[in-house]
Structure 1
Amino acid sequence: MTWDPDKVEAPQPPLDRATKLRFWLRAVPFGTFIAICLLIQVLLRQVERLIHGMRRPWTPYLTQVVCRAFFFFSGMGFRVTGTPMKEHGAIVANHVAWIDIFTLHAAKWVYYVSKAEVRGWPGIGILARATGTIFINRVRSEAKQQEQTFRERLSLGHKLLFFPEGTSTDAMRVLPFKTTLFAAFFDPALRDTLKIQPVTMVYRAPEGADPRFYGWWGEMSFGWHLVRVLGAGKQGEVEVIYHPPLRVADFADRKALARACEAAVRGGMPPERQIIE
């Protein structure tokens, strides 16, 4: 049976005082840094919009600075393997936790495609809106509207990034990819020129910690996980692996493309994490 994050125990043991103290020592300066950068971003975006409209040639630089700062303030390791594509297209990746937002932005300019409820999340929702995230409801009745939005953003040169698993995990597996959003890439105006780059994020826990340390699933609260990660005495690392891009035109339909992307992403995981659910 497929691993279901809502049916698997998500332990939340009490956090000790040292963890909470380290959290505040890191969160306060990082939060201040984010607030300053966010203010600059909002002001800069007003000028950018007047000159470039929906295009964003300036503000992504600031977004990338903030996301790289996360690793500086948290002490978490970060490295990139492979080469991010320069061609017109989109990116698909496995989904582990809210940390993915910082991880993938730190590596390359991207624009997230996210579930609509993220818009209202404390802190993360504000950052998502400021960085041009596309919010969607995963319902068939809105599929055509979503395709139109994707087409418009891709035509502007934006590299869209989405998580086909549809949910976050315990970092120990890749779930089957949902195929609905892949349909937009087969639009006649996009199919012949578009490429999709699969990306694998491999999170390695701090030495001696539960291998699922960075995973966020089930009923695990955002606040508890945030304090746990930022308050860790020792940190692990994340490796971002860029796989060779896939030409949409080489695939018969969205299901075939989704299967190929899923295989590439799963193949980038350590052998013990390549479980097929």
Structure 2
Amino acid sequence: MLQLNVNDEISRLRSVVLGTAKSCGPVPKPDEAYDPKSLEHILAGTYPLEEEMVKEMEAFAKVFRKYDVEVFRPEVIENCNQIFSRDIAFVIGDKLIIANILPDREQEVEAILHVLEEIDEQNIIRPPEEVHVEGGDVMPWNDYIFIGTYTADDYATHITARTNKAAVEFISQLFPQKKIRPFELRKSKNARENALHLDCCFQPLGKGKAILHRNGFLVEDEYRWLVDFFGKENIFEISAEEMYHMYSNVFSISPDVVVSERNFTRLNNWLRENGFTVEEIPYSEIAKQEGLLRCSTLPLVRE
């Protein structure tokens, strides 16, 4: 049996689900796009090719093997995009919460049944229907759980609004011993302004550092709270252009090892200057779907 254990974003990773780009289906039609960045690339004729994305994910898998991480992959469903395993479930402590995601993605959960069978079913939680939540919005951080949300009245009109008020309340009840800290995110049909998930504008790192993008947050005070929490000197503030390219969506294998996109020169240099080992891989094709390294992973066990 798998003993789930995830209490932060950085402790030594032992077991993870990494999505798959195999058989991810034809280029979606414009009205099938889940997010503005995908739509942009569909319309421009630059939507990523499956063979390129498969290569990128294999490069990620190779890094996990290098660090002796147990890697599960979803069963391949024909013509189904299964890259972003963070969307379908997430682990806090010893509980795996199945996300209530866009209805036509439910089969992605079925593709990881072989993983769920390794987990004590008492530790698998399915939230009630009114709870909308995706793993990209949920970050356990020791005593805290950070949650990206959108609670304005027009929530239902935004396909980019993925985690609602009911989710914040549900997680608060599920983990009464944790401090729940929600953040209102900026939702937009413009890919250069839209924060699809919390991990698109914020990422805590080891050594007390964090990556942050001010304009991803709707409420200035909530952004300021993070600046105060980590300390201004510890924050790598990214530009709108860098947020668009998903600079904050890197992935920590341990407190001092970060997997990053090889083109993120400014970030990768800063990480190295601050004592991190940076495992650079190509991931720019997958980034065209408004998701990157953290989005592709579902950590199950961290030490």
TM-score (norm 2): 0.26
Q: Structure 1 or 2: larger strand share? A: 2
**Structure with higher helix content:** 1
Higher relative contact order (CA 8 A, sep 6+): 1
